[in-house]
A = this chain, B = another copy of it.
Amino acid sequence: MPNAIPADSVGLVVPQTLRFSEPLALDCGRTLAEYELVYETYGALNAARSNAILVCHALSGDHHAAGYHAPEDKKPGWWDSCIGPGKPFDTRRFFVVSLNNLGGCKGSTGPVSVNPATGKPYGPDFPIITVRDWVKSQARLGAALGITQWAAVIGGSLGGMQALQWAIDFPDGLRHAIAIAAAPKLSAQNIAFNEVARQAIMSDPDFHAGHYYEHNVVPRRGLMLARMLGHITYLSDDAMRAKFGRELREGKLSFGFDVEFQVESYLRYQGQSFVERFDANTYLLMTKVLDYFDPAADFNHDLSAALKAATARFFVIAFTSDWRFSPARSREIVRALLDNDHEVSYAEITSSEGHDAFLMPNAHYQTLLHTYLERVAREVGV
């Protein structure tokens, strides 16, 4: 029985694929001779080609940001709360583009794709990508779609890092950069969590040094652990307390090692379902993209210098209970922008939902996005 698709949904969407045959030189020194990017679009590009918004996904995201692939789908795309008619990224005004980044596992060229040089999946031989590489590939996607300047580049978490990199690498390529729940680089603690996740995957006997496809297995245990750990860092302690407290599934202690507290049940479920939909080599790659992001590194570790050439206007948003990329990390970005007298709006949203807040409906958050995007719409005449 199909669900009724809500009136403010973009409705049914069909992913598209573009093949790029111009080689892409990567930061790691290697070159991708050719590659594909899968993407979705919502809304229509106007005649002036001025109303395009690029949505960048985070660690485990993909191109399916809004709407439904089939009427049976239980859930819409991952940012459906913000994309649609009347929503902050209003598809009656904007042409929203969302892609699966290079190295992903949802259709764009990545570790699960066949390496033309060997006829086998790339697996661990897929090059390590950087946010800079992604931005370059996104610029080519934009060009292919006839977009020379995005009205805005927007993302949360790792997606926000892409918006910042856009402003640095292609100053004329965007009018606005909206970086939500992001950081100018990972802290040692952030890297440490990623490292434990990587070790969990790489030490799984089913990992086979990344060549698990050929063994018809997947490193389930490792990927599950990585996801469970990730989830702890996405939620705040308060959110976990509100959601689970110390509630016991059976109402009393079992004095055993089966699932006992509700929070354990939640984490195991999150871990198990992730394994069904995500590739372990891509997960490893995404954590490295995060670890390597550090645009100031090329500017003598001076973030202000890194952002000097940017001409975009910025909107930086942080959430009070986010301890993965706390408001203090967003303020580092804002300070560097102010050092350059760049135009920046900054909002710290009160939320108990931790890092995940950027994906959640929240009236204050959505009103601010809405208002900001209305201004963008006026600027570009839509």
Contacts and interface: CB of A to CB of B under 8 A. Distances in A.
Given A195-B267, A232-B193, A257-B288, A188 B225 contact: no
Interface of A: 27-29, 124, 127-128, 185-189, 191-193, 195-196, 198-200, 202-205, 221, 224-225, 228-229, 231-232, 235, 237, 240-241, 243-246, 253, 255-257, 260-261, 263-264, 267-268, 271, 284, 288, 291-292, 294, 323
A188 B294 contact: no
A199 B225 contact: yes
A28 B255 CA distance: 6
B229 A229 contact: yes
A212 B188 CA distance: 34
Given A192-B240, A257-B284, 14 more contacts: A27-B255, A28-B255, A187-B246, A188-B244, A189-B240, A191-B263, A192-B232, A195-B267, A195-B268, A196-B225, A199-B224, A200-B225, A203-B224, A260-B291
Contact of A128 (B193, B255, B263, B284): B255
Contact of A186 (B246, B255, B268): B246
Given A199-B268, A241-B187, A268-B199, A263 B228 contact: no
A294 B247 CA distance: 12
Given A237-B189, A240-B187, A294 B228 contact: no
